[in-house]
Amino acid sequence: MTREKTMFLPLLRLSGLRYLLRHPWLLILSVVGVAMGVAVVVSIDLTNSSARRAFSRSAETVTGRATHQIVGATEDAVPEAVYRRLRIEVGVRTVSPVVEGYVTAFDGQVFRMMGVDPLAEGPFRSYVGPRMTPNLGQWMRWGGVLSSETASAHGISPSDTITVMVEGVAKRLPVLGVMDPTDIRSAEATRDLILVDISTAQEILGMVGRLSHIDLILPEGNPGRDLRARIRSILPPGTEVVRSSARTETVAQMTRAFEMNLTALSLLALVVGMFLIYNTMTFSVVQRRPVMGRLRALGVTRAEVFALVLGEAAAVGVLGTGLGIMLGFELAQGLVTLVT
């Protein structure tokens, strides 16, 4: 009996191979169905990971070493007079105003434009300081600073001029210099950053007289609580003092909800791929009933026929998965640009 079963194995494999070769479109449809499902899952998973990392780097870029921030109900609802009152009336020294927004440059690449006060930025962000090319006099001019990596990638040098797009309006921006971060994390965080003087950012982004937020470094314990109480007493309605981590976590929660929607979409694509391969294999079995009947008459067992069908499905799954992973990496490159 063992010898007879051994004789049937080449016959079974040959039967399955001949069927697939005689129906190439059925095989292609099965492989493509699995590949598309796997590609969508892989690409969206990579996109989620990239977007999460980009958000983390972006939050670090904006927050820096700030412990608290003064924010408004919207992104541009903090009057710049608040900064002056913090300096003069409350006497806070570790305070820095920030104006931020998004612009496009270099054929559609998205950059975060951040306007800062170079005299107040030292305690907050390591990449704003003596390692930057422009001096204080240059900072007061109209222009911006790029990261050394971005400038090198696009062949930009100081004294060149770039064009930035803000809500469809083109604006010419001279390059005053480059940032040379001291560590890898700062280099990654500043890769898509254009740093400008705060007045320049207000004019380009249409926020004259307003700030996105004000960064603070406040002490811990009772001195910090007393200082926060004094700061709250001068704030206009609609503004408040929040911890930097709390503001970042709020945006992170919205990001997680977005990631969940993308993940659900990828799982739906995988289910469609599974449904397609299931129906394809069912059609294959039904179409081969006469052949399987002859094999059973020759002594092939039910388990062997089942193993034949399962083996074909596994082979299709392996081919589709390998192809899907490669397609997923290619698809992720386009999705990352759209999502970020």
**pLDDT tens digits, 16-48:** 677 767 777 777 877 887 788 788 888 878 877
How far is Cα 201 from Cα 139, in angstroms, rounded to an integer?
Answer: 12
pLDDT tens digit sequence for 103-130: 998 888 889 898 888 777 777 766 555 4
Backbone dihedral region for residue 180 (phi beyond 0: left; psi -120 to 50: alpha; all else: beta): beta
Cα–Cα distance measured from residue 179 to residue 131, given in angstroms and rounded to the nearest whole number:
7
Residues 145/176, Cβ–Cβ less than 8 Å: yes
CA distance 197 to 174: 12
Phi, psi of 191 (to 5 degrees): -60, -40
Residue 230 has pLDDT above 80, yes or no: yes
Q: What distance in Å separates the CA atoms of residue 278 and residue 284, rounded to the nearest whole number? A: 10
> Is residue 121 a contact partner of residue 61, using CB atoms and an 8 Å limit?
no
pLDDT greater than 50 at residue 4:
no
pLDDT at 135: 58
**Which percentage of the chain shows pLDDT scores above 70?**
80
* 190, 127 Cβ separation under 8 angstroms: yes
Q: Given this model, what pLDDT does residue 11 score?
A: 61
Would you call 158 exposed, middle or buried from its count of C-beta atoms within 10 A (0-12, 13-18, 19+)?
A: middle
pLDDT value at residue 12:
66
Q: What is the pLDDT of residues 127-180, one digit of tens each?
A: 555 445 555 566 667 788 888 888 888 888 888 889 999 888 889 998 888 877
CB of 190 within 8 A of CB of 181? Answer: yes
| Beta strand pairing call for 161-166 and 169-179 | antiparallel
In whole angstroms, how far apart are CA 58 and each of 55, 222, 257? 5, 31, 18
- CA dist 322 and 338 (Å) reads 25
Q: What is the pLDDT of residue 74?
A: 75
pLDDT at position 69, please? Answer: 85
Residue with the larger pLDDT of the pair 121 and 70 = 70
**Contact call for residues 145 and 132 (beta carbons, < 8 A):** yes
What is the distance between the alpha carbons of residues 313 and 311, in angstroms, rounded to a whole number? 5
Structural domain spans, the chain: 2-55+255-339, 74-237
What tokens appear for 74 in the block? 């919207």
Is the alpha carbon torsion for 18, 23, 25, 29 positive or negative?
negative
Query: Cα-flanking dihedrals φ and ψ of residue 181, to 5°?
Result: -60, 155
- Residue 58 pLDDT > 80: no
- In the prediction, which pLDDT does 3 show? 44
Query: Which pLDDT score, from 0 to 100, does residue 250 have?
Result: 63
Could you read off the pLDDT of 232-260 as tens digits, one per residue? 888 888 888 887 766 666 666 767 777 77
| pLDDT computed for residue 1 by the predictor | 43
* Digit-coded pLDDT (tens) for 256-300: 777 777 777 777 777 776 777 777 777 777 777 887 787 778 777
**Per-residue model confidence as pLDDT tens digits over 178-228:** 877 666 666 776 788 888 888 889 999 988 889 988 888 888 888 888 888
